[in-house]
Homo-oligomer: A and B are copies of this chain.
Amino acid sequence: MSRKPFRRASDAERRADLIDAMLDCIAEGGIQNATVREVAERAGVSGGLIRHYFATKEQLLHAAYRHTMVAMTEISAEAGMADGKSAQAKFAGFVSACLMPPMIDARRLSLWAAFIAMARIDPAMGAIHRESYLEYRGLIERLLAGAYEEAGRSVAPVVVRRLAIEVNAVLDGLWLEGSLAGDLFEGQELLKAGLHSVGSITGLRLDHIEG
């Protein structure tokens, strides 16, 4: 009748572990598989502990969703921030990053889809979605505006916004296709498609860009 020995972890560490475990559950078995017990086991922790950090399973889910979207935004934002590059090169780097690992990733896609499916059902999930969507679109808008300014082209803000929507759409779509069926695309096919289509939409030449 001896209890399992344990180690007291910091608040941040435990939360992160639980979020990771929750994401693993969803990615590998779908939302239906993300039960309190399954999450706890994956986190190497007893079931009751979850309630100590999150009032309810739903709240853990919300935290996991937010975590996922913040991570994705960060990955591509970084690619669009590299120093010592022209604005157009930054934009091209951003587009490329969106269409390569670690962004192109089947697991990421499964998670994203599971969350999106709940965005309309659970208002809190909907709010998280909108928040991250607008942030992402804003990022594209800024990169785009920078590239146009550098190229000496004056484009009205309202047009930049519309183009950002379109760019976001292609990137979403290609990201989707690539993550879902990466084996259908050989080599750099996805990347080429992205640079070409984004280039066509924006009127910027994104291939042949150096530093």
What number of copies of this chain does the assembly contain?
2
Chain B proximity of A21: nearest CB distance (Å) = 17
Q: Which of B113, B168, B196, B197 contacts A177 (CB 8 A)?
A: B168
Count of residues in A whose CB is under 8 Å from the partner chain: 43
B177–A165 CB distance below 8 A: yes
CB of A156 closer than 8 Å to a CB of B = no
Q: Which of B117, B171, B180, B192 contacts A113 (CB 8 A)?
A: B117
Instruction: Tell me the complex Cα distance, A166–B193, Å.
Output: 6
CB of A133 closer than 8 Å to a CB of B = yes
CB of A37 closer than 8 Å to a CB of B = no
Chain B proximity of A211: nearest CB distance (Å) = 27
Q: Which residues of B contact A111 (CB under 8 A)?
A: 117
Ordered nearest first, which 7 A-B pairs have the shortest CB separation? A169-B173, A173-B173, A200-B200, A113-B117, A172-B173, A114-B117, A113-B116
